[in-house]
Amino acid sequence: MISDKLLALRKRKGMSQQEVAEAVGVTRQTVSNWELGQGSPALDKAAELARLYDVTLNDLASDEVDVVCSGKGERTRDLHVLEGLAGKDVTVELADGEGALVHARILSIGAGWIRLECDAPRAVFPTPIFREKEPPQRALKLVDMADVAGFTIEEDAN
């Protein structure tokens, strides 16, 4: 939901609700309402929020894109080496023992974020016969670089 994303992105940026409100020209209460799911920003305000948080408007608005962000804040990283991972299949090790995102395809890297597609958790069925026939579902994720401990490049099957 956009409310969860707005809260996580604001915390990642280290801003108060008042600072966000001043940056986009609304009241603090309006920002609070957005973060509580009691309304959503108009398109012009959503575009300003996306610019403020260094994400795309689509990533902000789409329910199909999850934000993986612990709110630790931004760390400056040299991205020129990491940009070479775009298009590669990797396992992304998350910081602080939060696990890993396996079989992930990196779509892009920039502005402190990794945009990737990975296997989505499967629904649990009573018998395993259904799981074998069901194709794996893929999920889009926007992962904060501060939450990445490392990458393992998966070998090509070809």
Measuring CA to CA, which residue among 44, 43, 47, 52 is closest to residue 20?
A: 52
* Predicted model pTM: 0.70
Q: Which residue do the tokens 């309402």 mark?
A: 33
Q: Determine phi and psi for 22, rounding to 5 degrees.
A: -65, -35
Helical segments of the chain, H only: 2-13, 17-24, 28-35, 43-52, 57-61, 128-133
State how far the Cα of 111 lies from the Cα of 113, in Å rounded to an integer: 6
Each residue's pLDDT tens digit in the chain (158 positions)?
899 999 999 998 899 999 999 999 999 999 999 999 999 999 999 999 999 998 999 989 888 888 888 766 555 556 677 788 889 899 989 988 788 888 899 998 887 888 999 887 655 555 555 555 566 688 899 998 888 888 888 876 54
Q: How far is Cα of residue 70 from the mean position of the Cα atoms in its chain?
A: 10
